[in-house]
A and B are shown apart, each in its own frame.
Chain A
Amino acid sequence: MAAEKKPGVFTGPLWTNNPVVVQVLGICSALAVTTQMKPALVMGISLTCVLAFANVIISLLRNTIPNRIRIIVQLVVVAALVILVNQILKAYAFEVSKQLSVYVGLIITNCILMGRLEAFALGNKPWPALLDGLGNGLGYAIILFVVATFREFFGSGTLFGIDVIARFVNESGYDGYQNCGIFVMPTSALILLGCIIWYLRSKNPELQDK
């Protein structure tokens, strides 16, 4: 644990040690909230905030937490943060919170969180823990955003809710265009994730299974 160097702590999770496509954590929400870009972006930001704060708090408390209830302590900290995020979204980003519905609540069950708390925050100082939280959160957010971009564009013909394809089709006068229905379904997220993993592994041979 302590062997992880500071520079890699932040940049690693963004790509070559990405929590979603390399560690394969947090897949459930990656399938569920990526039909449109806006909720995907908000989910990414929410998770990054929760993970960064949780990492710092657990790191600050790491020398006081009784070993036997450390998982419970982590859970309580994460749960409190998640409820806060949920309440704030409901108050200030109501429509987004409706689209995210249960998935904000489910941040708590996101494996990335407990994984990072247990594996990193418990054994490191607050500053590296903060970087680790931000890195993993952003790594998750990037993948979600990429998947959501594809899914929204091909599934609904929009980007951030703006009619891109419909506008183009109307101008060109061709009206036989149909959106690709499968991109609305979670299946497509799995296929897209598979493609990203494929690309990532072909570029980074050290990730390939021996």
Chain B
Amino acid sequence: MNRNSNVYTVIYATVLTVLVAILLTVAALGLAPQQKANSDNEKKQQILSSISSVLGKEVTFENAAEIWNELDMDNNMSVVNTKGEELDGVNAFEIVTKQQFKAGVVKDDAQLPIFIAKVNGKNYYIMAMYGAGLWDAVWGYLSVESDGSTIAGASFDHASETAGLGAKIKDDPAFAAAFIGKHLFQGEEFAPVQVLKQGKTAANGADQVDAITGATKTSDCVSTIINNSMTGYKETLKMIAFLNGVGEAEAADSTSCESDQNVEPVNAE
């Protein structure tokens, strides 16, 4: 057959395309479960990294699933809206945080995931953050203690911040560790921790964390991301503080108030 004829060329191209398409489809379908498991595992790692200091060990890609199951996280998560109400029928783990934000701000109808880790008899509430970094998206998780204000830890990840500078938000454990013990509220006022250059102080009296030297822009972005993301959780955090305050009083008082616990939006007890 003439290799340069149009018919031959067209048939050749068609056959080749179909063969390649079949091959790739089979490969994609066959490997999909393993790939999904990997990205789920990475998400678990990021979520749990925000309480790594509470856990007392580093959460790695390898041990993330194990810790996740130990803490029974699958049954300790819920979804809230910006009014602090719990939403039913939504799987917190499957929520794509990115879709809950518009132009860096939490949407009015956002569904926000909240994960509750019970470690050493205490509850830690892990919330999702998302926003723009210097070059591309930055996201992470922030955990607070049961007062709804004191930060127990944070974890950050980014799409493409500068290696060695902005990328330190993820690579340098000291950056995330600096958030531990800082607050989201000052008294009754919502004033989340800010990332500021050394020597500066926050105007609203908020706690502060030192910015990364040479990565001022990324640091500013992290500050904004924390503020904007936590604004979405503000009412929920107030509720957590309120309920836990009441809960303690009750525990000292008696073991009653089943009805109260039924309306708890986020406390998994």
| A73 contacts across to B, CB distance below 8 A | 12-13, 16
> Distance (Å) between the CB of A173 and the closest chain B CB?
21
What separation, in Å, do the CA atoms of A68 and B3 have in the docked complex? 9
By a CB distance below 8 angstroms, the chain A residues around B31 are 87-88, 90-91
Least CB distance, A44 to chain B, in whole angstroms: 20
A157 to chain B, nearest CB (A): 12
The interface bits of chain B over 1-20 (1 if a CB of A lies within 8 angstroms of the residue's CB, else 0) are 00110001100110011001
Residues of B50-72 whose CB lies within 8 A of A = 61
Q: Are B34 and A84 in contact (CB under 8 A)?
A: no
Q: Is the CB of B164 within 8 A of A184?
A: yes
Size of the B side of the interface (Cβ < 8 Å), in residues, is 23
**In terms of DSSP, what is the predominant structure of the interface of chain A?**
helix
Q: Is there an interface contact between B38 and A83, defined as CB atoms closer than 8 Å?
A: no
Complex contact B4–A67 (CB within 8 A): yes
In the complex, whether A181 has a CB less than 8 A from a CB of chain B is: yes
Q: A73-B16, A92-B34 are in contact. Are A66 and B24 (CB under 8 A)?
A: no
Shortest Cβ gap from A35 to chain B (Å): 6
B95 within 8 A of A: no
On chain A, the residues within 8 Å of B164 by CB distance are 155, 179, 181, 184-185
Bound-state CA distance A201–B130 (Å) is: 51
A139 to B125 CA separation, bound complex (whole angstroms): 51
Name B3's contact: one of A67, A79, A94, A98 (CB within 8 Å). A67
Q: 8 Å CB contacts to A: which residues of B26-62?
A: 27-28, 31, 34-35, 38-39, 41-42, 61
Q: Does B23 touch A at the CB level, under 8 Å?
A: yes
B252 touches A (CB below 8 Å):
no
Q: Are B24 and A64 in contact (CB under 8 A)?
A: no
> A90 CA to B20 CA in the complex, in Å?
20
Contact B13 A72 (CB under 8 A): yes
The answer to whether B27 touches A84 (Cβ under 8 A) is yes
Cα(A92)–Cα(B37), bound, Å = 10
CB of B163 within 8 A of CB of A66, answer no
Count of A interface residues, CB-CB < 8 Å: 28
A154-B9 Cα distance, complex, nearest whole Å: 53
User: Quick check: A66 and B9 within 8 Å, CB to CB?
Assistant: yes
**Chain A hits for B38, CB < 8 A:** 90-91, 94
* B9 partner residues in chain A, CB cutoff 8 A: 66, 68-69
Complex Cα distance, B35 from A184, in Å, reads 30
What string of 1s and 0s marks CB contacts (under 8 Å) between A44-68 and chain B?
0000000000000000000011111
Which positions 129-164 of chain B face chain A at CB distance < 8 Å?
163-164
Q: With CB as the reference atom, state the residue of chain A lying closest to B12.
A: A66
Asked whether B8 lies within 8 Å of A76 as measured between CB atoms, the reply is no
8 Å CB interface, A79-105 against B: 79-80, 83-84, 87-88, 90-92, 94-95, 98
CB 8 Å contact bits of A119-143 with B (1 = contact, 0 = none): 0000000000000000000000000
Please tell me which one of the listed residues A76, A87, A91 contacts residue B20 in the complex, with CB atoms under 8 A apart.
Answer: A76
Interface mask (B231-256 → A, CB under 8 Å = 1, otherwise 0): 00000000000000000000000000
**Are A76 and B16 within 8 A (Cβ)?**
yes
The answer to whether A184 touches B163 (Cβ under 8 A) is: yes
Q: List the B side residues contacting A88 at CB < 8 Å.
A: 27, 31
Which of these, A69, A77, A83, A84, contacts B12 with CB under 8 Å?
A69
Give the shortest distance, in Å, between B40 (CB) and chain A (any CB). Answer: 11
A167 CB, nearest partner CB in chain B, Å: 17
- Asked whether A69 and B13 contact (CB < 8 A) given A87-B35, A94-B38, A95-B61, the answer is yes
* Chain B interfacial positions (CB closer than 8 Å to A): 3-4, 8-9, 12-13, 16-17, 20, 23-24, 27-28, 31, 34-35, 38-39, 41-42, 61, 163-164
Q: List 13 A-B contacts (CB under 8 A).
A: A65-B3, A66-B12, A68-B4, A76-B16, A84-B23, A84-B27, A91-B31, A91-B35, A94-B38, A155-B164, A179-B164, A184-B164, A185-B163
Chain A interface (Cβ < 8 Å from any Cβ of B): 35, 64-69, 72-73, 76-77, 79-80, 83-84, 87-88, 90-92, 94-95, 98, 155, 179, 181, 184-185
